[in-house]
Amino acid sequence: MTLGLLICLNVWGGQLETSSPFPVTSFRLENGLEVILSEDDTLPIATLAVAYRAGSLHERPGKSGLAYLLENLMFEGSRNVGRMQHISFIQRIGGRLTALRERDKTIFYQTIPSHHLATALWLESDRMMALTLSSEDIARAKSALIGEIKNRRLRNPFMEGQRYFDALLFPDLAYGLPERGLEEDLKAISERDVREFYETYYRPNNAVLCIVGNIKQTQARELVQKYFGSVPPGKSLPPAAGSSQETDRDFGVSGVTDSLESPLSTSPAFFLGFRIPGPRSNDFYPLRIIEYILMKGNSSRLINRLLKKESLATRLSGGIDVRGDQAAFRIFVVSSNELKAERCQNEILSEINKLKTTRIADQELQKAKNLLRMDSVSRYATSVEKAKFLIRSHLAGIAWEDLSAEQERYLVVTPTRILLTMNKYFNEDRILIHVKTR
C-alpha cells in the first residue's frame, strides 16, 4: 500500500464515512460549522482544534496585523470565561494548548484527557459566541505586539532584508507584508476594526472544528451540537486575497538583484528566491520533490555541500513558501565573510544548473521521495498533527476520497519531469538580495 490514504466512501445519515489508516467522519451544522471527527483509542486523550479562515490574506490595506492581534485576543476572555482563564482551565485538567497562525487561517488547538472533551468544547464555543474585546484588552494586546515587533527587529539583524525580499518576491501587497503586520498599521488599528474582523471571520460558517482521539462519534457529535449549534452564523464573507482558482499566475515582475546594509549584522547574508505556482498547479508536485532534493535532509544537495562538505555557510534555510494560492521557492544563507557568501551563491546556482541540464539519478530521486513519504507519515503520527493534517486537507479543498491520489502524484514524479520543471521556473527571473555588514 502506498503512503496515501486508502479511502472507501459510504453515505450514511448525511455523513461522509471513510476507511483509512484512521477513520474520518465529517458533517456540517446548520450554522455552517464544518466538523471532522476521527476516533483513535490508542491513548486516553483527545485533541480539539478549531480553525478559522482568518489570516493576513484577509486583512485590508493599512490593517496588517489584525489576524495576529485577534489570535492573541482570543485568550483575553469571553462571556463566561475571564482573561487567560481558557489557558488555566485546560492546564488544570492536565491538558496543553497553543495557537498556530498561517497566511490563510488561524488554528487553536488543545490536547486533553478525553473525558474532559466537554470542557474544551464549552471554552471554544464561548469565545466563538462572545469574545470580550474590551478597549483595555485591545490596547494591551496592541502594545504587546508592537513591542514584540520591535524586539524581533533588534534580535534579528536580517528582518528588514527579509521584508524587502518578501515585497519583491510577492509583489501583491496582501502576500508580501509580514505576517505579524507593520508597526505603523498596528498602531492605527481601531477598536472598531478589531470587532469587525472578529464578527466577520470568527464565525461558525467560517470555521472548521476537528476532534481526534479517544472519542465515540455519536457522543462527540451530540456534544458539538450542544455547544456550537446555537452559535449564530456571520454575514457573507469577503473574498480573501488567496481565494482565486488560478493554477498558474503571471509572475509579472522580472528578476531583481539588489543589496542593503544591516547595522546590526556581523555576518553577510543573502536571500535568493524564485517565483513558482501555488498548490493548485500540476507543477507543484515536481516542485515539492525538487525542494527535497535541494533542501530537505542532511544528504540533500545544498545542505550537504554548503554546511557539511565545504563549510561555506553558518546558516542555511528555505524551501517552498506557500501563501494562499501563490508560492515561491526561497533560500536564505548566512556566511562568516563576504568571500564565502559569494561562493555560497555560486555553489547554489551550480546545483540548480545541474538539475536543469543533467538527469537526476534514480537512486537520488527515490531517496527524496522516501524522505517526503516519512515526513508525510509524521503529519498524523500524533493526535495534534493528525488534526492539523485533516484541517489543512479540508481547507485546501481535497476531498477525503482524493487523499490517496494526492499523495501518489508526488511519488510518480520522473527525472524528465524534474528537468522540465527546473527549466521552467529556476531561471534569470530570480530575486537576489544581499545583506551586507557595515
Q: What are the sequence ranges of the domains in the chain? A: 10-228, 256-436
Is the pLDDT confidence value at 424 over 70? yes
What's residue 218's pLDDT? Answer: 95
What's residue 315's pLDDT? Answer: 96
Residues 378 and 372: their CA atoms lie apart, in Å, by 10
Residue 191: alpha-carbon gap to chain centroid: 27
Query: Over the stretch 68-90, which tens digit does the pLDDT of each residue have?
Result: 999 999 999 999 999 999 999 99
Query: Over the stretch 201-257, which tens digit does the pLDDT of each residue have?
Result: 999 999 999 999 999 999 999 999 999 999 999 988 887 765 554 445 555 557 899
Burial 272-303 (b: 16+ CB within 10 A, else e): bbbbbbbbebebbbbbbbbbbbbbbbeebbbb
What's residue 304's pLDDT? Answer: 95
What's residue 241's pLDDT? Answer: 65
- Over its C-alpha atoms, the chain yields an Rg (Å, rounded) of 23
Residues 6+ apart with CB under 8 A from 326: 170, 172, 175, 242, 249, 278
Using left for φ > 0, alpha for ψ between -120 and 50, and beta otherwise, residue 376 falls in alpha
What's residue 242's pLDDT? Answer: 55
What's residue 379's pLDDT? Answer: 78
Which string of DSSP letters, residue by residue, matches 34-94? EEEEEE--SSSEEEEEEEES-SGGGPPTT-TTHHHHHHHHTTS-BSSS-TTHHHHHHHHTT
Hunting for cell 550537504 — which residue is that? 304
**Averaged pLDDT, 94-107:** 95
Distances (CA, A) of 12 to 15, 25, 50, 97, 334: 5, 10, 25, 33, 56
Is the pLDDT confidence value at 133 over 80? yes
What's residue 2's pLDDT? Answer: 30
The reply to whether domains 10-228 and 256-436 share a CATH topology is yes
Taking the CB of residue 186, how many other CB atoms lie within 10 A of it? 22
What's residue 11's pLDDT? Answer: 31
Is 3.30.930.10 the CATH number for 256-436?
no
Q: Is residue 407 very low, low, confident or very high in pLDDT (cuts 50, 70, 90)? A: confident
List phi, psi (to 5°) of 413: -65, 135
What's residue 6's pLDDT? Answer: 34
Residue that wins the pLDDT comparison between 5 and 305: 305
When the pLDDT of each residue in the chain is averaged and rounded to a whole number, the result is 89
The closest of 206, 209, 231 to 37, measured between CA atoms, is 209
Residue that wins the pLDDT comparison between 429 and 271: 271
Q: Is residue 44 very low, low, confident or very high in pLDDT (cuts 50, 70, 90)? A: very high
What's residue 4's pLDDT? Answer: 32
List phi, psi (to 5°) of 107: -120, 130
What's residue 12's pLDDT? Answer: 30
Query: Over the stretch 151-184, which tens digit does the pLDDT of each residue have?
Result: 998 899 999 999 999 999 998 888 888 889 999 9
User: DSSP code of 131?
Assistant: B
Residues 159 and 265: their CA atoms lie apart, in Å, by 10
Q: What is the CATH number of domain 10-228?
A: 3.30.830.10
Among the ranges given (3-12, 45-54, 108-117, 301-310), the one the predictor scored with the smallest mean pLDDT:
3-12
Helix count (H) and strand count (E) of the chain? 16, 13
Query: Over the stretch 264-305, which tens digit does the pLDDT of each residue have?
Result: 888 999 999 999 999 989 999 999 999 999 999 899 999 999
Q: Give me 244's grid cell.
A: 482565486
Q: Is residue 21 very low, low, confident or very high in pLDDT (cuts 50, 70, 90)? A: low
**Averaged pLDDT, 421-430:** 94
Q: Is residue 19 very low, low, confident or very high in pLDDT (cuts 50, 70, 90)? A: very low
What's residue 351's pLDDT? Answer: 97
